[in-house]
Amino acid sequence: MAALWNIVVGTLKEADIVLEVADARCVTDTRSTKLEELVKSMNKKLVLIINKCDLVPISFLNEIKQNVNCSCVFVSAKKRKGTRELKDAIYMRSKKTKLSQVCLIGYPNTGKSSIINLLVRKQSAKASSQPGYTKSTQWIKLQDNIRLLDTPGVVPSEETFSVFKSGIRPETSGDIERYAEELLENIKHAQGNNLTDFYNIKYDDVDQFLETLAKKMGYMLKGGIPDTVKAARKLIIDWNNGAVTAWRL
């Protein structure tokens, strides 16, 4: 993780414009205070990209806009929305006669690579629903005087690692049940919680949800014991790909 953080810091030093990507469902949780403070100390131009805006209503996007303390652009890389507004934000801050370098930063799986592909209209950056997919930096030409740099998703060690930062690999995490329970607890009273409708499971008891989900999906161990680990993996995957949703500042 330290090596990846050093890559991000090095990239920021090279950049003229910094685009930070956050998840519209949980903007506060997917913004990095440490990264933003570093960008500010380097006198870089910062734009906050609110990605996955298709997963929340317009009224909530307006609420986000009123509460963020920096320039922001609303985007849905999946639905290919917000491309013109994002390009305008970049061009407005770019140098007109010299090369401008733009880097994307953000937590794993917030959609950095997908946004690059949205901007260049082709699969220039590898994208995946698997958290932590981007492992190294890669420069991509946007136009003659602007190039983009995708960076690995990284969580600063000083910040709390949580499911909302999307850096959890369900297939390898040994704490997947703990993260699933954190997700369930934190979105229990959030707006737009679709767990009951999506899984057709009554959502009253966080402690019983994974067991109920395991039984419903047929995830059973020997002796008829519900496989709550497998149920937790499914829940996290469904959250990461946007099938399960809820929103809160």
116 assigned to some structural domain: yes
For position 191, what pLDDT does the model report? Answer: 94
Q: Which residues contact 65 (CB under 8 A, 6 or more apart)?
A: 72, 74
159 assigned to some structural domain: no
Residues 45 and 129 in one domain: yes
246 assigned to some structural domain: no
What does the alpha-carbon distance between residue 194 and residue 84 come to, in Å, rounded to a whole number? 31
Residues 183 and 79 in one domain: no
**What total of structural domains would you count in the chain?**
2
DSSP state letters, 95-144: -SSS-EEEEEEESTTSSHHHHHHHHHTS--S---SSTT---S-EEEEEET
- The dihedral formed by the CA atoms of 57, 240, 102 and 70, expressed in degrees to the nearest 10: 40
pLDDT of 131 over the 60 cut: no
Using alpha carbons, list the distances in angstroms from residue 249 to 88, 119, 157, 177, 226: 26, 27, 23, 24, 34
Q: Taking the complete model, does pTM exceed 0.75, yes or no?
A: yes
The beta strands (E) that lie in 13-58 are given as 17-23, 45-51
Residues 203 and 127 in one domain: no
249 assigned to some structural domain: no
**Cβ(179)–Cβ(160) under 8 Å?**
no
Domain of 103 in residue numbering reads as 2-150
For position 34, what pLDDT does the model report? Answer: 86
Residues 101 and 212 in one domain: no
Residues 111 and 188 in one domain: no
pLDDT, tens only, 41-93: 999 999 999 999 999 999 999 999 999 988 999 999 999 999 999 999 999 99
Residue 123's CATH number: 3.40.50.300
Residues 118 and 9 in one domain: yes
**Cβ(55)–Cβ(245) under 8 Å?**
yes
